[in-house]
């Protein structure tokens, strides 16, 4: 494996600490218990998610075009990691009851995180052949799970020793994100032709199979993203203990590491497309069963089921789409790919918001996500058999 490929994989290790510890675990808990009122917590998180998705959707094509024309994607990712690290650290010094300030810092860091992911995805075409991409994408997610799980374990041990140490968690995760981003500087790529953004996008969208895949990805990633963002909040909202919810998340991280290798083996056996469809079928049944959660072991069972397929779903989506692009349009192509992800992250949070606001519970919202996975799976099949 080449140095550029190892460096690319390490960035998943770097950013997974942030999404696991901050976005998925600590911020939802602290926002509910420290910065905000319990009543407004789900709505506040939903507003943050929607704002993040809209801003990323607006900025991603411009950032991708800049990276492509200047050949500077690694430097831009590093700058985003540095700014995101600073914003994450500022949360450590945000006083209790300051929900607006906390949401601003968190939302800004979220925007930087997701923009950096779009650029990282675009680098895949420069460091690998089409045959290598499924393996590299899965390996990156595997080590992302391991890094995120290790960071979460350290964070939970710190807070267990002293609850006030949550400040060290925010400082440490911010530093982790930036420090492990530094190897990306070893990746170089050529500048693309300085054409207009419109001229870059139109040839991509003229491919019918690409359009079908992006619509499918829009639907099922709406479900995946909502589960990632609201899993902890969902557990707390149905009166499960904080300790149980975070323990389930930690267990899922470490199960996710070997599970991604399982998906790699399965993709070699039945192919990347059928493996992705298997993952989406598991998500479909997870959404249906989440409605009936009443005990802590139910939550643990669903967390384990999610960990079995989450890495495979995201990694194979990335690698399957990468093989629809070429190096010249990779950054803009993955900007579209990530724009779809961000808009997909609006419907799910909106469902959760309305479910909590109108019905007083998240259960119907989670149940409704099943439709997104089933329709998405059908369109994935159509995109590869059109």
In total, how many domains does the chain have?
1
pLDDT at residue number 361:
57
Dihedrals φ, ψ of 192, to 5°? -90, 170
Structure tokens at 48: 């943050």
pLDDT at residue number 326:
75
pLDDT at residue number 115:
92
pLDDT at residue number 89:
96
Dihedrals φ, ψ of 126, to 5°? -90, -15
d(CA 164, CA 272): 45
pLDDT at residue number 371:
83
d(CA 288, CA 385): 28
Domain presence at residue 103:
yes
Domain presence at residue 156:
yes
Secondary structure letter of residue 371 according to DSSP: H
User: What does 320-344 look like in DSSP terms, one character per residue?
Assistant: HHHTTS-GGGHHHHHHHHHHHHHHH
d(CA 113, CA 178): 11
Domain presence at residue 192:
no
The CATH number that applies at residue 16 is 1.20.1250.20
Domain presence at residue 181:
yes
pLDDT at residue number 230:
63
d(CA 329, CA 350): 32
pLDDT at residue number 277:
94
pTM score, whole prediction: 0.77
Which residue range is the domain that position 241 belongs to? 3-187+197-384
Block mean pLDDT (10 aa), the chain, length 386:
90 92 88 78 82 86 80 88 96 91 95 91 85 89 88 90 88 96 83 60 79 90 75 64 76 82 90 93 84 72 85 90 79 80 67 63 65 90 81
pLDDT at residue number 84:
96
pLDDT at residue number 228:
67
pLDDT at residue number 353:
67
Domain presence at residue 339:
yes
Domain presence at residue 302:
yes
């Amino acid at each position: 494996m080449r140095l550029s490929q190892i460096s690319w994989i390490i960035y998943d290790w770097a950013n997974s600490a942030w999404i696991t510890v901050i976005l998925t675990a600590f911020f939802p808990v602290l926002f509910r218990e420290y910065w905000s009122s319990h009543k407004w917590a789900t709505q506040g998180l939903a507003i943050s998610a929607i704002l993040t998705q809209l801003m990323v959707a607006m900025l991603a094509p411009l950032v991708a075009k800049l990276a492509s024309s200047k050949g500077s994607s690694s430097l831009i990712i590093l700058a985003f990691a540095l700014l995101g690290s600073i914003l994450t650290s500022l949360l450590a010094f945000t006083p209790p009851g300051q929900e607006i300030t906390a949401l601003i810092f968190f939302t800004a860091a979220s925007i930087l995180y997701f923009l950096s992911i779009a650029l990282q995805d675009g680098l895949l075409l420069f460091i690998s052949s089409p045959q290598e991409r499924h393996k590299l994408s899965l390996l990156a997610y595997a080590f992302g799970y391991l890094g995120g799980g290790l960071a979460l374990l350290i964070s939970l041990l710190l807070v267990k020793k002293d609850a006030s140490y949550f400040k060290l968690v925010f400082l440490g995760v911010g530093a982790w994100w930036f420090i492990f981003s530094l190897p990306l500087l070893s990746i170089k790529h050529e500048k693309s032709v300085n054409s207009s953004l419109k001229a870059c996008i139109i040839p991509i969208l003229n491919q019918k199979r690409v359009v079908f895949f992006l619509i499918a990805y829009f639907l099922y990633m709406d479900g995946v993203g909502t589960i990632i963002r609201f899993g902890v909040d969902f557990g707390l909202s149905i009166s499960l203990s904080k300790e149980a919810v975070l323990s389930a998340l930690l267990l899922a991280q470490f199960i996710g590491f070997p599970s991604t290798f399982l998906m790699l083996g399965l993709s070699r056996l039945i192919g990347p497309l059928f493996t992705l469809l298997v993952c989406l079928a598991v998500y479909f049944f997870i959404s249906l069963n989440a409605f009936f959660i009443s005990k802590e072991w139910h939550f643990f069972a669903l967390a384990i089921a999610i960990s079995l397929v989450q890495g495979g779903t995201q990694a194979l989506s990335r690698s399957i789409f990468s093989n629809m692009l070429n190096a010249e349009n990779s950054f803009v192509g993955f900007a579209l790919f990530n724009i779809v992800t961000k808009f997909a992250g609006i419907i799910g949070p909106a469902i959760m918001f309305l479910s909590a606001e109108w019905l007083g519970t998240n259960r119907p919202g989670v149940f409704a996500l099943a439709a997104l996975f089933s329709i998405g799976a059908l369109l994935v099949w159509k995109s590869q058999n059109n």
